[in-house]
Structure 1
Amino acid sequence: MSTLKYGVSLYSYTGDMYTLMTLDDAMRQIADLGATGIEILGEGNIPSYPTPSAAWIDRWHALLEEHALEATNYGSWIDSSMWRHRDLTADEGADMLAADLRLASTLGFTTLRPKIGVVSMDLRPHPIWEEVIERNLSLAADLDIVICPEIHAPTPIRHPVVEEYVSFIERTGTDHFRLLIDTGIFQRAITTANHDGLSEEAQEEGWRKPLALPMSDLESVLPYTAFIQAKFFDIDAQLVDQQIPWREILETLIASDWSGYLSSEYEGDRSPYRAVEQVRRQHALLHRLEGEIRGS
């Protein structure tokens, strides 16, 4: 039977985390939703990354226990373009991923999203990706962490990037490499959310041109999917989301007997504390819809 669990990415609280909220505040908000999982960005949320102090690690575990939360997905970067004069080598990328896998394990995470530099507008990963991942499969198995690259707009599911990932899974036979699906790929209407730094073209189209992928595409990759980032932009006071078709997504997950985490990733307006209310609305909506679909 499908078991859906709900968590929150600390990315949802970007802005507030730097000025208004501590890690303890964020965990308290997440637990108060009835959520059970927390997702972080390694470089963005860990002080003194990549070598946090023993005191901070102890505090992290104490807060997880205090708020009855589990560490879910760890966001990692393998920056293939970090040097002006050359690309990252596979050796360097493999070392970066290994270091993040070990840190993620120390903090109790069970999945890790490697964000590898891209070489095209449709987000094709740098060619080193396959060697970098393959050289870390044994370590991932030893640590019992699943490496799961993100399928994110503007990359659709039916695309060579996804085909290459699935082929890699089938070729290696590994249980420690899967997909992470970002629900922004199912977006059906533009949003007027204001994000500083967007290009004029992006502003004119709204915050990302909707791909509006069908649920049949989601169904086709669920056997290869380990984690879902529940991307959203705005949910109104009546718990209506004009952009993301949550009922159809949950119906597909439940009908396909998929189990795992949906982790809130709010990307709407960044005014203070708006994210807190928006994530709360999303969780209320998801719980209501799941209850209706299951008839409970």
Structure 2
Amino acid sequence: MTDESAFRYGVSLYSYTGDMNTVLTLDDAMAEIASVGATGIEILGESNVACYPTPSTAWIDRWWASLDAHGLQPSNYCSWVDVGIARGRDLTAEEGMEVLARDIRLASTLGFTSIRPKFGVVSMELDPHPLWRPVVEANLTLAEERGVVICPEIHAPTPIRHCVVDEYIAFIEQAGSEHFRLMIDTGIFQREVTTAIQPGMSDEGHKEGWMRPLAVPMSDLVDVLPYVAFIQTKFFDIDEDLVDAQIPWAEIVDTLVAHDYRGWLSSEYEGERVAYRGQEQVRRHHALLRSLEREARADR
């Protein structure tokens, strides 16, 4: 295995939600990420940036100092274009454009090279509000100037073979820009039901959008990989023997190696939110992924 062909390993701070509410500071979380051998840090802007969306110069300086101290680099910045935030009406296209522009500028200031905008949805299959297209179109030039790739997320219950993905790919091809690509969330490959409960999610959301496995086939991943810029490696539970009963990691890693994917794999633990559990789960996840990558590359 060469450095040139290796994946880039990172961690989403969302993995430590239960820990950061009780035991971890942002700097502690960076130390945890570095301790598993990862080099990338993924954040949620509204949750992880103090005084979002206008952090102080002192906070930004501490952010960069912590990155340097732990040998990390920013990978992906998660943002929201909440079309329903105004009471009684949807945001206008112009308002949505400014929301995304604001977050692109902030992501760039913090060193991120990709941004995942979560647009308001209009269905349980997460069809985005039609506002997404004019908002993205208006920000492609800014994204290029700032060196940021806009990456909408393909997330359960939306499979790869879906009109939402078709529309995104059509836009990529029409726009001809390298600054709009896809993010894949590996929860779409889930094969078995998870019992993990997410606080604040409705029963309908758990049954239809969370616990129900989509079991998207690897052939579908192969079809869209040329359009993929970032992968969130979603998982729920890995046991002490490094076995994951829900996500088919060997198939995923084999597919990515075989088709020469060279981007980020950012661990996103979404299992039980208990203090310290996220830390141990991320460690197991990275040990599993690295072992599978070594095996897959040795077989080539």
Q: Distance in 1 between matches of 2:13 and 2:172?
A: 29
Partner of 1:237: 240
**Counterpart residue number, 1:223:** 226
2:296 counterpart residue number: 293
Given that 2:124 and 2:209 are in contact with CA atoms closer than 8 Å, whether structure 1 keeps it comes out as no
Q: CA deviation at 1:291?
A: 0.7
RMSD, aligned CA: 1.4
Instruction: Give CA deviations for 1:212-247 in whole Å, capped at 9, x if unaligned.
Output: 010000001100000000000000000000000111
Contact 1:2 1:253 (8 Å CA) reproduced:
no
2:150 is the alignment partner of 1:147: yes
1:144–1:196 CA distance, 2 compared to 1 (3 A): closer
TM score, norm. by length of structure 1? 0.97
Which of residues 70, 84, 94 is equivalent to 2:97? 94
Other-structure match for 2:11:
8
2:37 pairs with 1:34: yes
Separation in 2, partners of 1:59, 1:294: 38
Could you tell me how far apart the structure 2 residues matched to 1:257 and 1:263 are?
Answer: 17
Superposition deviation, residue 206 in structure 1: 9.8
Please give the per-residue CA displacement for 1:144-164, whole angstroms capped at 9, x wherever unaligned.
100000000000000000000
Pairing 1:276-291 to 2, within 5 Å after superposition: 276-291=279-294
Q: Identify the match of residue 163 of structure 1 among 157, 162, 166.
A: 166
Q: Secondary structure at the match of 1:272?
A: coil
Partner of 2:253: 250
Structure 1 residues 253 and 87, CA, compared in 2 at 3 Å: closer, same or farther?
A: same
Deviation at 1:193, TM superposition (A): 1.8
Q: Which amino acid aligns with 1:219?
A: V
- Paired letter, 2:51: S
Contact 2:195–2:211 (Cα < 8 Å) also in 1: no
Q: How does 1:32-71 map to 2 (within 5 A)?
A: 32-71=35-74
Q: CA deviation at 1:208?
A: 2.0
Structure 2 CA distance for aligned equivalents of residues 189 and 164 of structure 1: 29
The whole-number CA distance in structure 1 between the counterparts of 2:114 and 2:193 is 30
Show CA shifts across 1:245-285 (max 9, x none).
11110111111111100001000001110000000000000
Question: Cα distance 1:206–1:157, how it changes in 2: closer, same or farther (>3 A)?
Answer: closer
Contact 1:114–1:149 at 8 Å: present in 2 too? Answer: yes
Partners in 2 of 1:148 and 1:194 — Cα distance?
27
In 2, the alpha carbon distance for the partners of 1:5 and 1:34 equals 10
Does the CA contact (< 8 Å) of 1:43 and 1:50 recur in 2?
yes
Q: Any stretches of 5+ residues in structure 2 without a counterpart?
A: none
Within 5 Å, give how 1:102-121 maps onto structure 2: 102-121=105-124
Matched residues in 1 for 2:204 and 2:167: separation? 30
Shift of 1:70: 0.4
- Note if 1:133 corresponds to 2:140: no
1:17 matched to 2:20? The reply is yes
| Residue of structure 1 equivalent to 2:80 | 77
Q: CA deviation at 1:205?
A: 7.5
Gaps of 5+ in 1: none
**How much does 1:85 deviate?**
0.9
Normalised by the length of structure 2, the TM-score is 0.96
* Counterpart residue type for residue 23 of structure 1: L
- Letter aligned with residue 252 of structure 2: I
Structure 1 residues 107 and 202: CA distance shift in structure 2, 3 A = closer
1:213 and 2:202 are equivalent in the alignment: no
Q: Indicate the residue corresponding to 1:185 in structure 2.
A: 188
Preserved CA contact (<8 Å) 1:75 1:112: yes
Distance 1:45 1:197 in 2: 19
Stretch moving more, 264-273 or 187-196: 187-196
